[in-house]
Amino acid sequence: MENFEVIIVGAGPAGSLAARKTAEKGLSVLLIEEHSTIGLPVHCSGWLNGCPYTEKLVNEFGRDKIITKVDRWRVWTPKGEFAYEMKFNGGYFVDRVKFDQFLAQKAVQAGSQLSIGTKVIDLIKEDEKIIGIVAKRKGKIQKIYSDLLIGCDGSKSIPMGIAEKSGILKYDKKKERKYYPGIQVEFLNMKDVEPGVIEIFFGSIFDKHIANAFVSNLDEEGHALVGFGTYQDYLNVKKNHPVLKKRLKNAQEFGLRGGLYAFLLGEALKTGVLSGLMLCGDAVGYHGIIPAAISGAMAADIAVDAVDASSFSMETLQEYDKIRRKHPIGKAKLGMSFADIPENALNTFLKEQGEMLNKELFKGLELFDYESNQKKKIE
Ligand SMILES: Cc1cc2nc3c(=O)[nH]c(=O)nc-3n(C[C@H](O)[C@H](O)[C@H](O)COP(=O)(O)OP(=O)(O)OC[C@H]3O[C@@H](n4cnc5c(N)ncnc54)[C@H](O)[C@@H]3O)c2cc1C
């Protein structure tokens, strides 16, 4: 019977950080990833928001691998008018596939066992404690047991993954479970691409849930990633948007990606633990690579304490909920929908108050940092 101190499901940023940090402390760790190549399929633009934690990870990853440094944020109204542009500590764009592979490599080098091409299909419970997983690999079903399970299975955890299967969501009954589809089109030969600038275009032309398009300007050769709600959005925009239609006229589609946004209207689940289980990253409702990585590192610290104390009860693991809620990742608004604001009101709002509110938002994101020895201070 296979048995580990910690099983981690999902080798995204949350899972790889959790695996690395627990393995570094000598725990026996199994990191399970359903896909056969880490990082694929990619759904993300690879924007690492500017903050001390990003600097640490990028130093390790290699500064020569940065695609573009980001230093400006530009906002457009639903009428297609320029609203404002602000300088900010914007972080970097990186190749998300290479970045995820780098993080997973670190986890393996620290001593984690990695099982790729292995999909967790169910959880094993005993007396309300999660004691293991049922996994499928090359058509074979296998049960693997652990003292602790760390669920890092991304945004689909909430509708159909570990968050759903574990029953954790019933502790957040009042919260509507919100997760939206998003697509991203990679373009070459797009017009007016200004590397270093992130642009956001609002308007009812876009998918009703997200109500914006997010433009990641990558390089001067007209290389950009544009996030829409749906493919239909993109087709409408290409034909009808006052600014983007000109930019996209001769642009060449170079890639198409899709994913789920884990927005819970910008708030993570308050309860992310059960007996024998912690959830991190999108699985607990965060949105973003850095919050995912930090929550994985926090869960690892709590896992190490739990193994030391041989205590895996919900009460013991609630320490994780406490520290993540007090940390800037727990306080920042990580996703917002402007869908319900009428266009005229949004036009005025963006021009009059947008920049001020944006500055407040970025102040929060710029604080993201975490070290294991910080845990005590957060407590
Ligand atoms: C279109 C789009 C663009 C985005 N752009 C950005 C951006 O530029 N910057 C940013 O910070 N954030 C961005 N995000 C959000 C970001 O991608 C996520 O917040 C981040 O990836 C969360 O990390 P994670 O480790 O929690 O989950 P993920 O990165 O989603 O990793 C989860 C892993 O779990 C694996 N998995 C899932 N289920 C199972 C299972 N049953 N068994 C085994 N393995 C499983 C998956 O294959 C995956 O590898 C974007 C999201 C979308 C949808």
- pTM recorded for the entire structure: 0.95
When mean pLDDT is compared across 24-33, 81-90, 253-262, the lowest value belongs to 253-262
Q: Which of 2.40.30.10, 3.40.47.10, 3.90.650.10, 3.50.50.60 is the CATH number of 2-46+96-175+268-334?
A: 3.50.50.60
CA distance 207 to 209: 6
The atom number, within ligand 1, closest to the CA of 162 reads 41
Burial label for 253, CB within 10 Å (0-12, 13-18, 19+), is exposed
Residue among 45, 97, 216 to mutate when testing ligand 1 (max atoms within 8 A of CB): 45
CATH 3.30.9.10 domain range(s) in the chain:
71-91+180-261
Read off the pLDDT of residues 128-167 as tens digits, 9 standing for 90 and up: 999 999 999 999 999 999 999 999 999 889 888 999 999 9
DSSP states of 218-283: EETTTEEEEEESSHHHHHHHHHH-TTHHHHHTT-EEEEEEEEEE--STT---S--EETTEEE-GGG
Fold (CATH) for 71-91+180-261: D-Amino Acid Oxidase; Chain A, domain 2 (3.30.9)
CATH 3.50.50.60 domain range(s) in the chain:
2-46+96-175+268-334
Read off the pLDDT of residues 238-285 as tens digits, 9 standing for 90 and up: 999 999 999 999 999 999 988 777 655 567 888 999 999 999 999 998
Give residues (CB < 6 A) around ligand 1.
9-15, 32-35, 43-47, 119-120, 152-154, 161, 182, 184, 227, 259-261, 281-283, 287-289, 292
